[in-house]
Amino acid sequence: MNAQICDPLLRPFAGNALSRLDEAQVEHMMERSAILASEAGVQPPALCDALALLEVLRLYPAVLTGLAALEIELDGATQWLLTTDLDLARVYLRDIGGTEIAVLDPADVVRTQYGGVALLGTLG
């Protein structure tokens, strides 16, 4: 990851999260950090970067866990795919004729759709 993405002080604390950011997420983080510094007057720069990363993690929990849930429509029914590879899941979904509705936090899906416990199976 490019050293200019965040203050070097943040790197040891961010762990794998920084390496999992895609270009749009990096841009979001950098923009949020700049806004915090210039418009909100937050200092030092490492704090701006840390707060911006927290915002990205809130919006994209898969950055932290490497796991995402895709809400999909398949044969007129809403279902969920659990994945560690969004690109692969999207190809699979396209191949089976499904439609992506949203990318969600798996914990939220298990809590809201399955009452806190879900039994996973494999696709076949």
Q: pLDDT for 42-64, tens place per residue?
A: 888 888 988 999 999 888 888 88
Share of the chain above pLDDT 70, in %: 95
Residue 65 has pLDDT above 60, yes or no: yes
Per-residue model confidence (pLDDT) at position 22: 86
Per-residue model confidence (pLDDT) at position 72: 97
User: Around 81, how many Cα atoms within 13 Å sit in the side-chain half-sphere?
Assistant: 24
Residue 86 has pLDDT above 50, yes or no: yes
User: What is the H or E stretch that residue 49 is in?
Assistant: helix 45-59
Task: Write down the mean pLDDT value for the chain.
Answer: 87
> Quick one: average pLDDT of 89-102?
95
Residue 46, Cβ density class (10 Å: 0-12 exposed, 13-18 middle, ≥19 buried) = middle
Per-residue model confidence (pLDDT) at position 71: 96
Q: What is the DSSP letter of 4?
A: G
Give the integer Cα–Cα distance in Å for 1 and 24.
14
Residue 1 has pLDDT above 70, yes or no: no
Per-residue model confidence (pLDDT) at position 2: 43
**Chain segment 66-83, per-residue pLDDT in tens:** 899 999 999 999 999 999
